Structure 1
Amino acid sequence: MTEINAAFGVEDDVARIEIRREAKLNAVDMETKRAITDRLGEYRDRDDVQVVLFESAGNDAFCAGGDLQEVKEREYALEPFTETWEDLFTEMRTMPQPTVAKIDGHTYGGGFDLLLHTDIPIAADDAQIGQPESTLGVVNHFSPPELVHRVGLPTTMDLLMTGEAISGERADEIGLVARSVPADALDATVESALDALTAKSPRVLKKLKRSVYASAEMSPTAAKSHVEAISLEAARTDPDYREGVDAQLERRDPDWS
């Protein structure tokens, strides 16, 4: 049986997925990608999973992308690698729970794309983040649409064409990550974000995630109407709005059951 280079666990409503391949800068092989994708499919329907965290073993790399040795062994066929990444990214974006990534060290190629498809990526300010596919003779097709939308055309061209890495701090400045913090504060910052997410109504976060991604494909006017309709319907039919307001007035923690 092929070894899976990842560990999985659920505790305190957080599902933690840790890539474990330090010797190869946490590069992800196809079997590990499939295992992560399958596990996300299981998590989406679990009541004890309110948020999913992606992290990696060690401090040298979040993920250096795919396994180049695997590419050579498969006679340089690109489709198997892009298909397994696509399956993973689709699962990440369509699963109802929010996803968080702890970005430390080297984050390249597929690791860069993994960051892009995470809802809330949080980076160490000294992380090295880059998209070097052009150096490998590959035309990257995962990053361009998302990058143009997020950081603009000139910055997208710079990142993809030069292949040069930027720091986590710079990634924060251009809107590539949600926030960056000093490396020694990364663990505490991520845990604080997880605590904030698990304290919210799971139903509200699921509807918010779905509506935000759907509205991103619409015109501003259509997006506003779409999200407003979801908000008003939720206030009428779900208990969260009433419970949230009552808890605030009564100075207690809300009960989202």
Structure 2
Amino acid sequence: MVNATFSVADGIGRISIEREEALNSIDLETKEAIIERLSDYEDDEDVRAVLFETEGDRAFTAGGDLKEVVDLDFELEPFTESWDRLFTRMVTLDTPTVAKVDGFTFGGGFDLVLHTDIVVAAEDVQIGQPEVNLGIVNHFSPALLPGTVGLNKTLDLLLTGEPITGKRAAELGLVARAVPADELDEEVESVLSALKSHSPEILSRIKSVVYEGTEMSPSAALTHAERVAHETGEGPWMREGVEAQLEKRDPEWAYDGE
């Protein structure tokens, strides 16, 4: 059974994990459905951004379904391989992704946050990587966290398993924004509105050049970004954006990709 619902409205492709009784843990079948729907959203010209949200406000997601680990006789490969394919699909997706974190976020949920383009969290939520308590070595966070929070804080988070607040996560750069819980919906809508106002092609190019640059040396990343900037400058997007600014009107991006 897929424990998620999918919908498109007002330019936003929504993915809502609906398994509140299990702290919105994400099972294998649901991961597969999300991967498939992400590709559908990418191909849908009406979808300008993808929003991850979950049922209730106690947990954003506790990560994977531990009962499946037992069912698999503690064989982690199918479990982790499904996460790997989901996260790869997220970062290679042309469409920007946003997560609304309104409850505690642990384990695979923490990794989901690391692979989402823009994360908006309530200041008081708990975010952490407690897998050390389960005798598990997480295979995403050790590679990704040092570049974000530094070596010492990475070791603190992973060795103690202690969570931090959404506010602290924003200070460390783990999430993009943290606001009081009663302002979370408004802040998420502000992010989505901004994304919808921009050229989908330019958003896609920016996203890809940023992620690709993380795998290059600083000088190579700079050269790569310069090349992409020149390529897009030869297209219609800069002309439309500059002319719209000078004419004091909203740009029209209807011809993206033409």
TM band (smaller chain): over 0.9
1:129-173 Cα offsets, whole Å, 9 max, x none, are 010111000011111111011110000001111000100000011
Could you say what the CA RMSD is over the residues aligned between the two structures, in angstroms? 0.8
In structure 2, what is the equivalent of residue 70 of structure 1?
68
Q: Distance in 2 between matches of 1:214 and 1:4?
A: 32
What SS is found at the alignment partner of 1:246?
Answer: helix
Number of aligned residues: 254
**For 1:218 and 1:94, how far apart are their aligned partners in 2?**
16
Q: For residue 5 of structure 1, report the CA deviation from its aligned partner.
A: 0.5
**Paired letter, 1:24:** A
Q: Corresponding residue for 2:239?
A: 242
Within 1, Cα distance between the matches of 2:217 and 2:82?
A: 31
What's the % identity of the aligned pairs?
Answer: 58
CA distance in 2, matches of 1:76, 1:133: 14
Offset at 1:192? 0.6
**Once the 2 structures are TM-superposed, how far is the Cα of residue 71 of structure 1 from its aligned partner?**
1.4
* Aligned partner of 2:253 among 240, 246, 256: 256
**Counterpart of 2:113 in structure 1: which amino acid?**
L
> Structure 2 CA distance, aligned partners of 1:153 and 1:171?
15
Q: What's 2:80 paired with?
A: 82
Q: Could you tell me which amino acid in structure 1 is paired with residue 176 of structure 2?
A: A
Given candidates 15, 21, 28, the residue that maps to 2:26 is: 28
Which SS does the other structure have where 1:139 is aligned?
coil
Task: Note the residue ranges of structure 1 that are not aligned, 5 or more in a row.
Answer: none
Which consecutive unaligned segments of at least 5 residues does structure 2 have? none
Q: Which residue of 1 aligns with 2:127?
A: 129
| Residue of structure 2 in register with 1:182 after alignment | 180
Q: Report the more deviating stretch, 66-75 or 106-115.
A: 66-75
Question: 1:120 and 2:125 equivalent?
Answer: no
| Aligned pairs (5 A) from 1:14-163 | 14-163=12-161
User: TM (normalized to structure 1)?
Assistant: 0.97
Q: Which amino acid aligns with 1:86?
A: D
Q: Distance in 2 between matches of 1:7 and 1:141?
A: 28
Q: What SS is found at the alignment partner of 2:43?
A: coil
Distance of 2:249 and 2:19 partners within structure 1: 44
Distance (whole Å) between structure 1 residues aligned to residue 148 and residue 43 of structure 2 = 30
Tell me the amino acid that sits aligned with residue 99 of structure 2: A
Whole-Å separation in 2 of the counterparts to 1:68 and 1:154 = 29
